[in-house]
Amino acid sequence: MKHLLSIEELDRAAIERIVSQAERFAEVSDREIKTVPALRGRMVLNLFYEASTRTRSSFELAAKRLSADVVNFSAGGSSVEKGESLKDTVLTLSAHKPDAIVLRTPWAGASELVSRWCSAAIVNAGDGKHEHPTQALLDVYTLRRRLGSFDGASIWIVGDVAHSRVARSNVLAFQRMGAKVTLAGPPTLIPRDIESLGCEVRYDLTELPSADIVYALRMQRERMTETWVPSMREYAGWYQINGARLGAGQVLMHPGPVNRGVELSGEVVDSPQAVITAQVEAGVVVRMAVLYEVLAHSRENGQSAREQAAPEAVHQGQPA
Amino acid sequence: MSHPQELVCAPRAPADVLIADVRVLDPAAGIDARRDVLITQGVLAELAEPGSLAPAEGMEVIKGGGRLLLVPAFFDPHVHLRTPGQEHKEDLESGTRAAAAGGYAGVIAMPNTDPVLDSAPLLRSLRDAAARQARIAVGFLPAITRGLEGGQLSEMAELRSEGAIGFTDDGRPVASAGMLRKALQYQRLCGGVIVLHEEDPTLSRGGSMNEGPVSAALGIAGIPTVSESTMVARDAALAGYEDARVHFQHLSCAESVRALAEAKARGWRVTGEVTPHHLLLTEEDVRAMDTSMKMNPPLAGEHDRAALVEGLRSGVIDCIATDHAPHARDEKEVPFEQAPMGTTGLETAFAALHTELVLGGVIPLELLVSRLGTGAELFGLPAPAIRVGEPAEVALIDLEARWVAGEHGWESRSANCCFAGRALRGRVLATLCRGAIAHRDRALAPVAA
């Protein structure tokens, strides 16, 4: 795999390959010395056009654990503010010959565009409201660790679907893994025709008890100013996942950061059903696996050699 | 009040040419026959049986071989020539060169320039410039409201006396019904068609493409088709109430066609146009996020496209207009949501529609030729016709020619064409405007008798 641009382009086998690799890296993370030399001498460039704490830091950590060099480039305070176009920025930074560019932008399709402009491997860390594939992969990883398989499970994604790249990537990823996905939220925040992705839509939570997994989305306060919902109070009344709504056997997920008291009540955040902290932990190992997937094999010849070589490469690289 | 509304173009040497054994097709005149066509000093001097006319000494002869097609030149009531202010995208010379290459002998330019065309002095200077630079005839539609801001009428009567063909705020709707009503009332004084880009900004705000399954999948904010159709219905009712003459631009969805049909059935003086891209493409073509597929109104669903084709066939939609909207390469080489809206269209309109709709068996050639010319009449201008004794305004077309759009570049200064890379059939070999050759394809080298 040369790039990771979207979940759309991944089949179940590809998702499972990356997640399995992440599981192998998880063993490394438990050791005292957490680095492996798999990407020694390679350069990963984090190019972020949007504020991000956890995604960027987990990519940075992932690259460092693989012994890659990391350069962070934020659009704020840079030539971008002086009006440089995305293309010129990418061409300029390409002069440093990064092996991979991790890209977050507010624009759908930007990663795919950038993949045409330079020779580096491109990892989409969020393109507008389109996709956030590494989030979906780490969610699959988290669920697999918690539940083993979730083939046939019912997953409800609740909240502001319209503005969520996480929702779009997860609908695709969960379905690829055999789950049945239902989107629920206020009608103003569920895109028309979203059912064309193969999911179902509900405007209230009366059937929520049928879900095996409840995935709450972040409700951004700025949506209020555009009157997508009448008030946070009314939103919370209808869509907040709280102790009364969350069943004992359900798993609760959230991409973070949580608005306590809005989409989630404090009690469920801290409940045993919640895997929110596990999702954050999964971020580093899954992103290690993604960087490894797009970079580690490119030195070797031929696609067929890759997959067998992968596990050995890690083990050989581990410090004694 | 005098109204010098005729179109303007630069003077060019009149043509002397014999087009031998060509299929002459003029649906309005009821002509469809093989003929020799003699053009002398720019005037269409004779139409006669093939083989019956001889060229004068040294006169150019184009051999039609019974294969080439001669039709009245096309007319496009909706183009952006980007002058003044955005000449890096297009100017009067390049835009009219592109039009001539597409078989057009007349175009009407939109006022969303920089500065906005909303004053008589600017209109005068543009007409002067066109009289020096334009290869084919150009007319101008100044703004309905000053600065296209929707707040105050432009000086419509003075603009009319300086040659305004009508008025439009194209690129934007006249959002306020009250403001539009005043323009329609004022039309009684000054005449001129009121030309409307229909879009309810409260519905379209923030959108970059049609609202539907593709926008849902891409996470790109959608523009619902009702953004256009509700405004068509509203403004048709206003036109009916004020008995005003209104033309609707670039209709893009089934509901708009229906609203136009209902308005016409009530006898209201309304007409409408459709673009080649809305006739041939849908939101599915946006899935790859190619910015050449980003235009306003956006490409809609397949049932909308089918309704537009049916509207064109039935006559509910009066004419084809390209909405030729050039943008510089670096302006379009950005993520989809950042890109400006618009596609070029003048050089591909006939060939794309011929390839898909005529050769696809959807509409007859006669209908396509007719609807590419009716735009002129809608604005009270003489339609190009094949008429003996008149200056030749014709397009010579090789219906068999195969080419790939954009493979040898463009006459337009911009390359943002939604049909770029498509294999097309049918190519304009030459265009005559006012008796002069405005375009000659490289395939048509001059051969003297």
- Same domain (yes/no): A298, A162: no
> Which H or E run contains A92?
helix A86-94
Q: Judge whether B217 is closer than 8 Å to chain A, CB to CB.
A: yes
CATH code at position B271 = 3.20.20.140
**pLDDT, chain A, mean:** 90
Q: Which two tokens stand for residue A314?
A: 């890690």
**A296-305, B4-13, B76-85, B376-385: the lowest-pLDDT one:** A296-305
Contact A151, A178 (CB under 8 A): yes
- Same domain (yes/no): A143, A271: yes
Query: For B335, which of A109, A131, A164 is closest by C-beta distance?
Result: A109
pLDDT in tens, A129-166: 999 999 999 999 999 999 999 999 999 999 999 999 99
- Same domain (yes/no): A313, A226: no
- Same domain (yes/no): A118, A150: no
Q: Judge whether A196 is closer than 8 Å to chain B, CB to CB.
A: yes
Cβ within 8 Å, pair B337-A107: yes
B81: domain range? 75-92+107-317+330-344
Average pLDDT over residues A56-73: 95
From CA B310, how far away is CA B339, in angstroms rounded?
31
The pTM of the full predicted model, rounded to 2 decimals, is 0.93
Residues sharing a CB contact under 8 Å with residue B62, sequence separation 6 or more, in sequence order: B17, B18, B19, B20, B22, B68, B396, B430, B444, B447
Collapse the DSSP code of A205 into the 3-class scheme (helix H, G, I; strand E, B; otherwise coil) and give the result: coil
Of the candidates B53, B44, B57, B169, which has an alpha carbon nearest to the alpha carbon of residue B113?
A: B169
Asked if the structure places residue B41 within a domain, the reply is: no
Q: Sign of torsion, CA A23 A29 A32 A35?
A: positive
From CA A46, how far away is CA A56, in angstroms rounded?
7
Residues 80-109 of A with CB under 8 A from B: 85-87, 105-109
pLDDT in tens, B304-345: 999 999 999 999 999 999 999 999 999 999 999 999 999 999
pLDDT in tens, B194-206: 999 999 999 999 9
Contacts of A194 in chain B (CB under 8 A): 216
Asked if the structure places residue B38 within a domain, the reply is: no
Residues sharing a CB contact under 8 Å with residue B70, sequence separation 6 or more, in sequence order: B19, B22, B23, B24, B25, B35, B37, B64, B386, B394, B395, B396, B397
Q: Which two tokens stand for residue B35?
A: 């003929």
Residues sharing a CB contact under 8 Å with residue B198, sequence separation 6 or more, in sequence order: B173, B228, B229, B231, B232, B235, B248, B249, B251, B256, B297
**B210-239 per-residue burial string, b: 16 or more CB within 10 A, e: under 16:** bbbbbbbbbbbbbbbbbbbbbbbbbbbbbb
Contacts of B222 in chain A (CB under 8 A): 191-192
pLDDT in tens, B276-285: 999 999 999 9
Of the candidates B282, B325, B330, B334, which has an alpha carbon nearest to the alpha carbon of residue B306?
A: B282
CA separation (Å) from A113 to A3, B131, B255? 12, 42, 35
- Same domain (yes/no): A68, A91: yes
Average pLDDT over residues A57-64: 96
Among A130, A165, A189, A225, which would you mutate to test the B interface (most chain B Cβ atoms within 10 Å of its Cβ)? Answer: A130
A44: domain range? 12-132+284-317
- Catalytic site residue from B200, B235, B323, B398: B323
Question: What secondary structure letter does DSSP report for B159?
Answer: H
**Amino acid B1: pLDDT:** 40
Q: Judge whether B213 is closer than 8 Å to chain A, CB to CB.
A: yes
Query: For B219, which of A85, A128, A193 is closest by C-beta distance?
Result: A128
Asked if the structure places residue B239 within a domain, the reply is: yes
- Same domain (yes/no): A145, A95: no
- Catalytic residue check, B285: no
CA distance to partner chain A, nearest, from residue B217 (Å): 7
- Same domain (yes/no): A151, A256: yes
Asked if the structure places residue A3 within a domain, the reply is: no
**Amino acid A28: pLDDT:** 82
Residues 153-172 of A with CB under 8 A from B: 164-165, 168
Query: For B216, which of A86, A165, A196 is closest by C-beta distance?
Result: A196
DSSP string covering B419-431: TTT-EEEEEEEEE
Tell me the helices (H) and strands (E) count for chain A, helix number first: 10, 9
Chain mean position to CA B330:
25
Provide the number of structural domains found in chain A: 2
The bridge status of strand A100-105 relative to strand A180-184 is unpaired
- Same domain (yes/no): A238, A126: no
Asked if the structure places residue B278 within a domain, the reply is: yes
Residue A102's DSSP bridge partners are: A46, A123
CA distance to partner chain B, nearest, from residue A311 (Å): 35
From CA B294, how far away is CA B292, in angstroms rounded?
5
From CA B249, how far away is CA B295, in angstroms rounded?
13
Decide if the complex's ipTM is over 0.85: yes
Average pLDDT over residues B121-130: 98
Q: Judge whether B320 is closer than 8 Å to chain A, CB to CB.
A: no
pLDDT confidence band for A224 (50 / 70 / 90): low
Contact B145, B112 (CB under 8 A): no
**pLDDT, chain B, mean:** 96
Query: For A194, which of B216, B289, B336 is closest by C-beta distance?
Result: B216
User: Residue B211's closest chain A neighbor by CA?
Assistant: A192
